[in-house]
DNA sequence: CAAAATTAAGTGACTTGTCACGGATTTTTT
DNA sequence: AAAAAATCCGTGACAAGTCACTTAATTTTG
């Protein structure tokens, strides 16, 4: 702690360390991406969670909450919590599955499709802009890193403690 | 919507699309990483925010809230909010900067160093495990992608809408 | 077939993260 | 030197995400 190195330099050193640490970078980068998404979706009056649901239901619906959560690699509670609001807005219809009474099937209404279509071109432009910043190969490489990182993140506390 | 493609296949198609979409992957991946971090820090009785603060203050302190936030690329409010609790726990000392009365200088107490040292070896093991999953070059490449993605995320709504 | 185990969904409680705004202090401009 | 602008920090309000627990329904097992 009580080094003789000037404060300014210790700050710079620390900044370089933080910059080179993937674990430090991820939260900030994801937050920035999320904020950008929120700003873009605000134009169409959607939240991120709503947008994801509309898109997935449009492409793969009618669909259960469970399957939606799996598609989005997210906890089902996140979806479950937003549905009443989306239903009240008239975007989706919820109906109990006749074959399996535990499940709820989500389908889009015309208003839901309209809500989707308000946001979709904007989000498509975002992806187009993204592809101007990164080549096809770079994206593939990145996805591969994410695949492997997902595996790493499944390591349990014991796995980590047993390292080395 | 009313395609003739079976539901199962549409789900698979959608899953592949989600899997290949960086914007879809980031939230899940970051969430998984954060959860792993939380589980590891729980052993030492720390939250993520607390851990980051302890580490940065140890390496670069005494330091202001502003500088801490900049190091972590996070909003100052996140740090500001946790400090009273950490001060009450006896880990840090807060004192108003004599040169600039707006600023608060954060420094570690002995108990703060002890709290850091309870978590540090565990987190070091995590980074060691991480380096077994990814080579030095891959990490460099990933950091470069993140650097460029950060630039992309700074694009304003207008920038995005002007695309193409 | 009854009992036990699993699964789907809803909900409470929490963490991590942002933005916006106000009050106090410092710095810059005129 | 006074006025204006900028900066630091605290706080309220919110979004996105998790886990743990409950209830209801279905499947599996004995």
b/e per residue B54-65 (b: at least 16 CB within 10 A): bbbbbbbbbbbb
pLDDT band at residue A72 using 50, 70 and 90 as cut-offs: very high
CA distances from A164 to A160, B107, B139 (A): 9, 33, 20
Contact call for residues B122 and B36 (beta carbons, < 8 A): no
pLDDT band at residue A164 using 50, 70 and 90 as cut-offs: confident
Residue A148 has pLDDT above 50, yes or no: yes
pLDDT band at residue A5 using 50, 70 and 90 as cut-offs: low
Q: How far is the CA of A57 from the C1' of D25 (A)?
A: 24
Taking the C-alpha atoms of residue B153 and residue A127, their distance in angstroms, rounded to an integer, is 12
Contact call for residues B106 and A95 (beta carbons, < 8 A): no
A38 touches chain B (CB under 8 A): no
DSSP string for B103-148 = -EEEEE-HHHHHHHHHHHHHHHHHHHHHHHHS-HHHHHHHHHHHHH
Cβ atoms < 10 Å from Cβ of A37: 21
A7 touches chain B (CB under 8 A): yes
Mean pLDDT of A5-24: 90
Helices (H), B61-109: 65-72, 76-88
B132 touches chain A (CB under 8 A): yes
Asked whether residue B77, judged by its CB, lies under 7 Å from any atom of the DNA or RNA strand C, the reply is yes
Taking the C-alpha atoms of residue B94 and residue B65, their distance in angstroms, rounded to an integer, is 10
How many CA within 13 A on the CB side of residue B102? Answer: 1
Residue B61 has pLDDT above 80, yes or no: no
Q: How far is the CA of A98 from the C1' of D11 (A)?
A: 49
Among A2-16, A49-63, A149-163, B79-93, the range scoring the smallest mean pLDDT is A2-16
Asked whether residue A61, judged by its CB, lies under 7 Å from any atom of the DNA or RNA strand C, the reply is no
Query: Token digits for A69?
Result: 């959560």
Q: Give chain A's domains with CATH numbers.
A: 47-148 (1.10.10.10)
């Amino acid at each position: 702690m009580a080094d003789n190195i000037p404060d300014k330099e210790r700050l710079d050193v620390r900044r370089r360390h933080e910059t080179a640490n993937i674990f430090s970078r991820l939260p900030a980068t994801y937050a920035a991406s999320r904020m950008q998404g929120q700003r873009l979706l605000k134009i169409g009056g959607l939240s991120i969670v709503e947008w994801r649901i509309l898109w997935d239901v449009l492409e793969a619906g009618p669909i259960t909450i469970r399957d939606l959560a799996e598609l989005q690699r997210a906890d089902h509670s996140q979806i479950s919590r937003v549905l009443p609001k989306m239903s009240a807005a008239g975007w989706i219809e919820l109906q109990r599955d006749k074959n399996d009474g535990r499940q709820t099937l989500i389908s889009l209404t015309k208003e839901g499709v309209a809500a989707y279509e308000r946001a979709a071109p904007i989000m498509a432009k975002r992806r187009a802009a993204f592809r101007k910043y990164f080549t096809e190969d770079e994206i593939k490489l990145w996805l591969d890193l994410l695949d492997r990182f997902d595996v790493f993140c499944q390591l349990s506390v014991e796995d980590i403690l047993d390292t080395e």
